[in-house]
Amino acid sequence: MEDQKLELVKKPTVNDIARVAGVSLATVDRVLNRRPGVRAVTVQKVQNAIDELGYIRDTAAANLARNRVYNFLFVLPDTDNEFVEALSTQIIEQSRDQFIERTRMTIKKVPPFDPQGIVEFLDAINSRDVDGVAVFGPETPSVRDAVKRVRDKGIPVVALVSDLPSSDRDHFVGVDNVSAGRTAAQLMGRFAHRGGKVLVLTGSRLARDHLERRQGFDLVVAEEFPHLEVVASVEGRDDPELIYNMMPEIFETYPDLVGIYSSAAGNAGLVQFLSESKVVKDLVIIAHELTPLSREALSRGTFDALISQDTGHIVRSAVRLLRATSDTVPFNKAQERIRIDIYLKENLPL
């Protein structure tokens, strides 16, 4: 009884292991860190003690002792789109807090929609000065292979926002984009009372996240909302100006549009067109990502709902995952799940 209480209150340390196993601290450490130069029998003795005592390593003390510093790299597309900007801002803002926790974050911007740029950069990474990489990029064969090569150097990699499943990345930090598209469709179907055509504004064929959203959107509209018809999607390349210029023709082709699902970036062009147009109104518009612009559009009623993902959460999660992978320690799965946020004008954060 007394014993049990003590074990609950005080957790075993390396000293306890050493005592129980009858070896020195140094040997315990060697076993703990899988370092060579210990006889199999000795390893076994120590391992037994560890199991028996239910030892859990104190990571904070370990990091203190080895004066460890984590160097993480964030590879982002070099566009001026608001979502990427929000991500960058988060990384920079969190740098201060993370610095205290012994982790340094660096942002590397590579040309957007350009697999080769990412590949070259990834290949130049050295395991001596980088402890982990977070990549937000397109899932092309070359990128996939480059990611594999990074991992082969022993450097953990997480995919950010847009998954790279075929690359064998350690983790994906972002939302299920098929579900995000489905969610948008459900809102569109419920909000659009009169029937008609719906347009999907997408970004690039190379971006896996955009494709998945479109796919999810189509499925739900087809299944549940026969009063709506999704027309051929338009590729806006996340470019506000391009989008702005395309809009008149779109409305000429589909004068009876009842809704737009803006599934990528470049919303500024859409908002500008809508604010200038006198004919277009009563459209249900669902867009992605909470940014200053989209927030404003939602508040004014230009947008009806936003599908979003929390950039602060994404960055924190990437760091925690990279750290856990680097230290080969477990992580809390529920905490790392990025939610598909729905914003209406009434639940906007302060």
Tokens of 15: 């000293």
- Binding track over 259-298 against its own copies, x by CB under 8 A: ----------------------------------------
Pairwise CA distance, residues 202 & 220, whole Å: 17
Per CB under 8 A, does 335 bind its own copies?
yes
- Selection from its own copies, DNA, none that 302 binds (CB < 5 to 8 A by kind) is none
Least distance from its own copies to the Cβ atom of residue 182, Å: 4
- Selection from its own copies, DNA, none that 66 binds (CB < 5 to 8 A by kind) is DNA
Phi first, then psi, for residue 71 (nearest 5°) are -110, 110
Count residues binding its own copies (CB under 8 A): 42
Tokens of 218: 């189509």
- Which helix (DSSP H) or strand (DSSP E) does residue 173 occupy? strand 171-173
Per CB under 8 A, does 190 bind its own copies?
yes
**If DSSP codes are grouped into helix, strand and coil, which group holds residue 24?**
coil
Identify which range of 80-88, 275-283, 292-300, 309-317 contacts its own copies by CB under 8 A.
309-317
Other CB atoms within 10 A of residue 222 CB: 13
Smaller CB separation from DNA, 311 or 325: 325
**If DSSP codes are grouped into helix, strand and coil, which group holds residue 151?**
helix
- Binding track over 10-29 against its own copies, x by CB under 8 A: -x------------------
Residue showing tokens 């990611």 = 147
Least distance from its own copies to the Cβ atom of residue 181, Å: 9
DSSP-assigned letters across all residues of 54-81: T----HHHHHHHHT--EEEEEEEE----
What residue type is 124 in one-letter code? A
In the complex, which residues of this chain contact its own copies (CB under 8 A)? Answer: 11, 56, 58-61, 63-64, 94, 97, 99-100, 179-180, 182-183, 185-187, 190-191, 193, 216, 220, 310, 312, 316, 332, 334-335, 337, 339-347, 349-350
